[in-house]
Amino acid sequence: MTLTTTDRPALSASGALVPVLAFAGIVVAVMQTLLVPVIKDLPQLLDTAPSNATWVLTSTLLSGAVATPIMGRLGDLYGKRRMLIASLAVMVVGALVSAFTSTLLPMIVGRTLQGFAMGAIPLGIGLMRDMLPRERLGSAMALMSSSIGVGGGLALPAAALVAQHANWHALFYGAAGLGVLSIVLTLLVVPESPMRARGSFDLLGALGLSAGLVLLLLPVTKGSDWGWSSGRTLGMFAAALAVLLLWGVLELRLKAPLVDLRTTARREVLLTNLASIMVGVSFYVVSLVLPQLLQLPEATGYGLGRSMVEAGLCVAPLGLTMMFTAPLYARLSTRYGPKLTLILGLLVIAAGYGGGLGLMDAAWQTVVTSVVLGAGIGLAYSSLPALIVGAVPASETGAANGLNTLMRSIGTSVSSAVIGMVLANTAHPVGGVAVPTMHGFRVSFLIATAAVALGLVLALCLPSPNRSARPQLRASSEEDANLERAQEVLRGFRGRVLGADGAPVPRAKVTLIDRRGRQAGATLSAADGSYALAVPAEGPYVLAARATGHGPHASSATHTGDDRPVDLDLSLPGETVTA
């Protein structure tokens, strides 16, 4: 039996894979940060009331929260690369819609479409897990996870410069251009992952989760405007609780749910997601406080009187430091594991906010605070996907990381609402305008410190994995890395590739083919002839092996879907010479 298969492209493309996927994450961050320099001017620019203008930001937050777990699940089912390109394409369309309008409703539509790009982060992490050898996986996921901070740090001064010296619509043209560039690079460099989850897309679950998230996040973001004790706010919170409870019951009854709540309820996954909320809170507080402190006039007695661009440059080290901590994270995590790296990151964040309480008197002090907080947030953010990836099956990586990214978004939403309320309630009037006070800034930093302390408690409660189970272990070679990664996901096939004389055959290409004739995985046998391949779902498969100097061989086998490997040796015949 002779089979023709396509070699897995990840091995040759992996060198450019990481920077291209990280660039996609940076593009998403640019989209999020785009309007920060012109937030206060939006009512005038859109000729609307301030309460209506906030929907331009709220719509992006809500669509991003809804899209993140949905795009992760679609990626697991139909291809992560395909869904990554779809997310970026929707963002480009949204940016162009916003670029051509100065009225409120089309702007909200455009910003809603841009929020779909948030799905790129979990999809990129999932592609890295599926494609990269394990010795590169830790630093790659760290860079992808911290790309939100990197993009935000770079975009803030750039957007401020554009807003000061050009038409504000140029911000959207720039975002659309970056999105198109990211799509082109993805098409050229990133291969499709062979990993697929079993089942079909849970449309009812997607609608239920979307409704629950909107009902939850809408009063969180608008509570200050509506009143936290108003009937509308409390009613939406009650409705959100009811919808999410019903959604949870539905998900538990389905064989192929949108979110596997049983996996999510695992101790390591649950605690990591809760810690992610706290990290999200801590990340957003500094982004809200420092730019305002820097731009307030010196006449207030505590404002630093800096321009919009200068304020952006002072806060930019926050994102840049996150980028530079990715290699440091990889070394620390390889040696100590992602749990201890998360704990270290949270301790550094606490030190940054604690020190920041006394470093608010000069612009250089805000730069120091940004650097320290960026280092801590970078370490913490980099640890989160590694903890998730190590706790879920490979076929659920996209959905699980999508949910984790959602938890961070909820953290930033809560942070925005709480800090906005604190600054509003502690403001004092200056010339008829409510101006935040130094007391409000310090209370905001104390709230962030409390969130970090809670996150630290959650991190300390995480189980400590055995050293052999850590996903950051080094491999001696690329084929050994592929073998170790497959063995880590126990559900699959393993065995040895042997020659006609019974001797092991190293570097034999072993391809896994599903019932539809599609490639579901590929690897190279190790020096002793051993191989291992994870399966995306239960069912019948064909394992085809070939090596130089040997004839091809294919064996049929069935996997029942449990978490035990099926042992299957593959014997290659001597090569047949055709006259």
> What is the rounded CA–CA span in Å between residue 56 and residue 39?
9
346 occurs within a structural domain: yes
Clarify whether residues 124 and 208 are in a common domain: no
Burial of 461 (0-12, 13-18, 19+ CB in 10 A): middle
Secondary structure (3-state) at 306: coil
| DSSP secondary structure of 107-124 | HHHHHHHHGGGGGHHHHH
Clarify whether residues 511 and 566 are in a common domain: yes
Calculate helix-pair angle for 120-131, 397-425, nearest 10 degrees.
150
481 occurs within a structural domain: no
Give the pLDDT confidence of 477-515 residue by residue, as tens digits.
Answer: 444 444 444 444 457 888 888 887 778 888 888 888 877
449 occurs within a structural domain: yes
Clarify whether residues 231 and 259 are in a common domain: no
CA atoms within 13 A on the CB side of 457: 6
The total domain count for the chain is: 3
Residue at which a domain ends, from 443, 469, 495: 469
Least reliable range by pLDDT among 215-224, 237-246, 359-368: 215-224
Calculate helix-pair angle for 363-389, 317-336, nearest 10 degrees.
40
Facing residues of 571 across strands? 498
Clarify whether residues 223 and 265 are in a common domain: no
| 3-state helix vs strand vs coil in the chain, percent to 5 | 65, 10, 25
Residue 374 in contact with residue 242, Cβ under 8 Å? no
Give the pLDDT confidence of 395-421 residue by residue, as tens digits.
Answer: 666 667 777 777 887 787 777 778 777
Residue 482, pLDDT score: 46
Residue at which a domain ends, from 222, 237, 253: 253
Residue 468, pLDDT score: 39
> What is the rounded CA–CA span in Å between residue 144 and residue 323?
9
Token pair 């040696």 is found at: 335
Please tell me which of 181-185, 441-445, 483-487, 564-568 the model is most confident about, judged by mean pLDDT: 181-185
Residue 186 in contact with residue 88, Cβ under 8 Å? yes
Clarify whether residues 38 and 120 are in a common domain: yes
If pLDDT is split at 50, 70 and 90, which confidence band does 476 have? very low
Secondary structure (3-state) at 267: helix
CATH label of the domain that carries residue 269: 1.20.1250.20
Mean pLDDT of 4-29: 65
Residue at which a domain ends, from 234, 253, 272: 253
Token pair 């050994």 is found at: 480
Clarify whether residues 241 and 268 are in a common domain: no
Q: Which residues contact 291 (CB under 8 A, 6 or more apart)?
A: 36, 156, 311, 312, 315
477 occurs within a structural domain: no
Clarify whether residues 443 and 558 are in a common domain: no
Secondary structure (3-state) at 517: coil
Clarify whether residues 313 and 379 are in a common domain: yes
Residue 203, pLDDT score: 84
Residue 102 in contact with residue 167, Cβ under 8 Å? no
Clarify whether residues 29 and 144 are in a common domain: yes
Clarify whether residues 260 and 217 are in a common domain: no
Pure H helices in 104-230? 104-114, 120-131, 134-165, 170-189, 203-226
CATH label of the domain that carries residue 548: 2.60.40.10
If pLDDT is split at 50, 70 and 90, which confidence band does 577 have? very low
Clarify whether residues 38 and 84 are in a common domain: yes
296 occurs within a structural domain: yes
Distances (CA, A) of 134 to 16, 206, 383, 476: 16, 32, 15, 10
Residue 566, pLDDT score: 83
Q: Which residues contact 526 (CB under 8 A, 6 or more apart)?
A: 479, 480, 483, 506
DSSP state of 574: B
pTM, rounded to two decimals: 0.66
Give the pLDDT confidence of 421-466 residue by residue, as tens digits.
Answer: 787 778 777 666 667 888 888 888 898 899 999 999 999 988 765 4
> What is the rounded CA–CA span in Å between residue 427 and residue 423?
6
CA atoms within 13 A on the CB side of 519: 19
- Hey, what's the torsion of the CAs at 291, 297, 300, 302, to 10 degrees? 50
193 occurs within a structural domain: yes
474 occurs within a structural domain: no
Please provide the average confidence, as pLDDT, over all residues in the chain.
78
Distances (CA, A) of 278 to 356, 381, 414: 18, 11, 10
Residue 90 in contact with residue 113, Cβ under 8 Å? yes
Q: Which residues contact 424 (CB under 8 A, 6 or more apart)?
A: 224, 434
If pLDDT is split at 50, 70 and 90, which confidence band does 393 have? low
Clarify whether residues 524 and 558 are in a common domain: yes
Mean pLDDT of 19-34: 85
Q: Are strands 492-498 and 566-567 parallel, antiparallel or unpaired?
A: parallel
Give the pLDDT confidence of 86-129 residue by residue, as tens digits.
Answer: 999 999 999 999 999 888 889 989 998 998 888 888 888 888 87
479 occurs within a structural domain: no
- Hey, what's the torsion of the CAs at 125, 130, 131, 135, to 10 degrees? 80
Can you give the residue range of the structural domain that contains 217? 203-253
Q: Which residues contact 515 (CB under 8 A, 6 or more apart)?
A: 539, 540, 541
